[in-house]
Amino acid sequence: MIQDNLMKALNDQINYEFYSSYSYLAMAAYAQSEDLDGFANFFRIQAQEELFHAMKFYDYVYQKNGDVTLQSIDKPQLKFENMVDVFEKGYEHEQEVTRRIYNLADIAAEEKEHSTISLLKWFIDEQVEEEDNFNKIIKKLRRAQSNPAALYMLDEELAQRVYVAPAADTSAQ
Ligand SMILES: [Fe+2]
Ligand SMILES: [Fe+2]
Dist. CA 94 → ligand 2 center (Å): 6
The residue with greater pLDDT, 62 or 145, is: 62
Confidence of residue 169 (pLDDT cuts 50, 70, 90): low
The answer to whether 17 is annotated as binding is yes
CATH topology of domain 4-159: Ferritin (1.20.1260)
Closest ligand to the CA of 134:
2
What DSSP designation does 164 have? Answer: -
How many residues belong to the chain?
Answer: 173
Does the structure show a pLDDT above 70 at 122? yes
CA of 91 to the centre of ligand 2 (A): 9
Is the pLDDT confidence value at 142 over 70?
yes
Would you tell me how many other CB atoms lie within 10 Å of the CB of residue 146? 8
Task: Return the closest-CA partner of residue 90 out of 56, 141, 15.
Answer: 141
Q: How far is the CA of 142 from the centre of ligand 1 (A)?
A: 25
How far, CA to CA in Å, does 19 sit from each of 16, 85, 141, 166? 5, 19, 25, 21
Question: For position 173, what pLDDT does the model report?
Answer: 42
Contacts 24+ apart (CB under 8 A), 23-26: 23/76, 23/77, 23/90, 23/93, 24/50, 24/90, 25/76, 26/76, 26/77, 26/78
Report the pLDDT averaged over residues 121-131. 98
Q: How far is the CA of 22 from the centre of ligand 1 (A)?
A: 11
- Please give the average per-residue pLDDT across 100-112, as a whole number: 98
pLDDT digits (tens, 9 = 90+) for 44-73: 999 999 999 999 999 999 999 999 999 999
Confidence of residue 172 (pLDDT cuts 50, 70, 90): very low
The bound ligand whose nearest atom lies closest to the alpha carbon of 52 is: 1
For residues 148 and 127, give the distance between their C-alpha atoms in angstroms, rounded to a whole number. Answer: 31
CA–centroid distance, 110 to ligand 2, in Å, is 25
With beta carbons less than 8 A apart as the criterion, state whether 58 and 68 touch. yes
Cα 68 to ligand 1 centroid, rounded to whole Å: 17
